[in-house]
Amino acid sequence: MGNLAGRTSSEGSRGSDGSISVEELQKHNTKDDAWMVLFGEVLDVTKFIPIHPGGTDTIDMYLGKDATEEWVEIHSPETLEKNLQHITKIGKIEARRGLMSWLYERFAAPKSAGASATPSAPADDDWPQGTQFTAAFEEELKKEEGHFSLETLKRWNGKERPMLIALCGIVIDVSPSENFIPTHGYGKLWAGKDCTWAMATVSLKAEDANRLDFKLEELEELQFKSLAGWYKHFTEKYRQVGTLQELKDWDFSNIIAEAKEMQKKGSYA
């Protein structure tokens, strides 16, 4: 969402940190003056309403509100990217519940492993959840000896093998999660890839997976806290199966420390 071109709104609508208040958001709730929140950003969707694939009436109920969770349930990540020219970024929504907490909550209930899978790859429609670990896959995982590169990690894509992702230098088994499906949504974007930059920036752009051309010390405060929140969530919920060689020399100690503070406070951000 950070890639949307910004437009300055009236000064009265902004807090001291430049954020948009919920009260201001709620004022823009008509089809002629339509704002909504997606992924923590306040967006002017007035020009998007007439071309909304689901019709104008279905989007009307979300005007002046946070529509993120409903958007994720209904739309593919690509939908937003295809319509950026019709959407204007106003600013960030005023923090009330903690940075992007809805995102972390969506990953809060991983599904049980379920039936065993075979190593052979089926057709796309045959894996609603993705390949799960079996004794054979566990043996294959042991052969990695806990060391992955971007090249070897990509084989664990939820299709031929159970799904693994990398975050902050560690490799995590997300195969039990019903939110990581290899052909859709987060799984399609991040299966077998490093997600550090994508999660820091809350990006649903495919090219932001496996991005290593950034420095941790240059992350903005919101990006830093977002990444710490993701790290807290995934290390609490899922098992760690190794490390990523490309990030072995990166210092994630500040991210880990922030995640521990969040854990103490019982919050995501």
Mean pLDDT of 141-156: 97
CATH architecture of 105-265: Roll (3.10)
The structure tokens listed for 27 are 């004022």
Confidence of residue 95 (pLDDT cuts 50, 70, 90): low
Q: Write down the domain spans for the chain.
A: 11-96, 105-265
Helices (H), strands (E): how many in the chain? 11, 8
Q: In terms of pLDDT, which residue wins out, 200 or 164?
A: 164
- Res. 267: pLDDT tops 50: no
Fold identical between 11-96 and 105-265? yes
CATH architecture of 11-96: Roll (3.10)
Confidence of residue 141 (pLDDT cuts 50, 70, 90): very high
- Whole-model pTM? 0.58
pLDDT tens digits, 208-253 = 999 999 999 999 887 898 899 889 989 999 999 999 999 999 999 9
Q: In terms of pLDDT, which residue wins out, 11 or 219?
A: 219
Of 41-55, 63-77, 151-165, 227-241, least confident by mean pLDDT is 63-77
- Res. 29: pLDDT tops 70: yes
Confidence of residue 116 (pLDDT cuts 50, 70, 90): very low
Mean pLDDT of 193-210: 90
Q: What is the largest CA-CA distance in the chain?
A: 61
- Res. 128: pLDDT tops 70: no
pLDDT at res. 139: 97
User: Got the DSSP string for 198-241?
Assistant: HHHTT---GGGTT---S-GGG--HHHHHHHHHHHHHHHHHS-EE
Among candidate residues 168, 269, 248, the one with its CA nearest the CA of residue 216 = 168
